[in-house]
Structure formats: C-alpha cells, structure tokens
Amino acid sequence: MRTDVLGVAFDNVTIDEAVDRALALLEEEGPHLVVTPNPEIVQRAEKDPEFAGILAQADLVLPDGVGVIYAAKILGRPLRARVPGIDFASALMVRAAGLGKRLYLLGAAPGVAEQAAVNLRAACPGLVVCGAHDGYFKEDGPVIENIRAAQADIVFVCLGAPKQEKWIAANGEAAGARLYVGLGGSLDVFAGRVERAPEGFQRLGLEWLYRLMKEPSRAGRMAKLPLFLVSAAGARLRGK
C-alpha cells in the first residue's frame, strides 16, 4: 500500500526494504523503474501529466527529500523513513556486488560517469561497472545499444528529473536492463566533483541547508519547500 503525498504515491519502506525489493525486481523480467521524488519533483509532476503518470507506474517510489517526510506527517499519514536516492544506490551496489550484477552509469558531464565508475569500483570491491556514458548525447540509439551490449542489469540514469524518468520510460525496454534508477546529480557525488553534506546535516535532514550554504544561487529553488508544506497543510484542511 502506497502513501499519497500531494498526488505522488510513495512506498512506505525503510532503505533496507527498498533494496530488498529492488533485488527482487532484478530477478523478474524488466524493465523496472525506481524513482526518488523530492518536493520539487512532486510539484513538477502536478504540472506535467506525462511525468505524473510515469511516477505512478514506477515499481518503487522512494521519499528522497525531508520535505516529503514533513508533508506526509502534516497530511496525517506519516512515512516510516526518508530514503535518499544516493543512499539507496550505495546500499544497492553493495548487495549487487555480492550477486555479480552488472551496473551501467548514464549521465552528467563528459568524463564524470567514467570517474564515478573508477571510484565506485574502489569503494565497493566486486562491483561490476560494465559501462558509462555522459548525459550530453543527442541521439538515443547509440546509448541504448551501448547499454544492451554491456549486458547491464542495473542502470543509474542521472539526467535530472523529469528527463531521466521520461528517458527510461521511452527506452528502458530497448536497452535491455532489468532495473533503472533515476538519480539526478548523484554521479557528480560518486565522482568526487560535488561534496555531500556532512553526516550531521544528513542525520538532521538538513542537507538542503548545507547545499544552500555552499550554493546560495539555489535560494529560489529552496524557497519552494515552505510552499510545499503549506500545500500539505491546505490539503489536510480540505480532507484530502
């Protein structure tokens, strides 16, 4: 049973349960989609019916942003845990490495996915990163063929939302992998190009504040979070 938060239905799972479900999906014929919506993505889906439909049909919908957790509480249907996409991906890679699953990295600027592959192999012994491609491609065909030729089981698609989810919906079956995970800017973190918030900020759900401190230009985007919570409060008052 999923929990609706302002039009997006989330799986009410812990990170361990999410990884268990992802591994189970890998044993079934694909393609399967994992999405990691934050408040900004929920708001975008409200204005984009195609995107909203893709999120609704995803096999796993994980609450990435702390704003989603707060909104769920305001609505009176709390989620059990926040499941950041990058933490889910990290835990999935550890388990997948022990099972011999093959991972493909797609997205970010030229050279970033390749560097991420190097770092991930070093950090996760036994992990098979079978290919990588940047996100600056103009034609889908060569990328699809590259993923298929690499015999990937899992593809981390880091093109930004909603582009990455729409790409998976359109091309996932042709590319042949069983599990696709939309992960936004995670490859920049895995490649060491972007520093993640310290653990203290992560535990308190304040990664957004750390990003704002590092990148003040994000203030406009961050200002949407209070509006998201106000929308949740309004929905609660209306009985939705």
pLDDT in tens, the chain (240 residues): 899 999 999 999 999 999 999 999 999 998 999 999 999 999 999 999 999 999 999 999 999 989 999 999 999 999 999 999 999 999 999 999 999 999 999 999 999 999 999 999 999 999 999 999 999 999 999 999 999 999 999 999 999 999 999 999 999 999 999 999 999 999 999 999 998 767 777 776 767 666 667 666 655 566 667 788 888 999 888 876
State residue 226's pLDDT score: 78
State residue 207's pLDDT score: 73
State residue 65's pLDDT score: 85
State residue 197's pLDDT score: 67
State residue 30's pLDDT score: 84
Q: Are 192 and 122 in contact (CB under 8 A)?
A: no
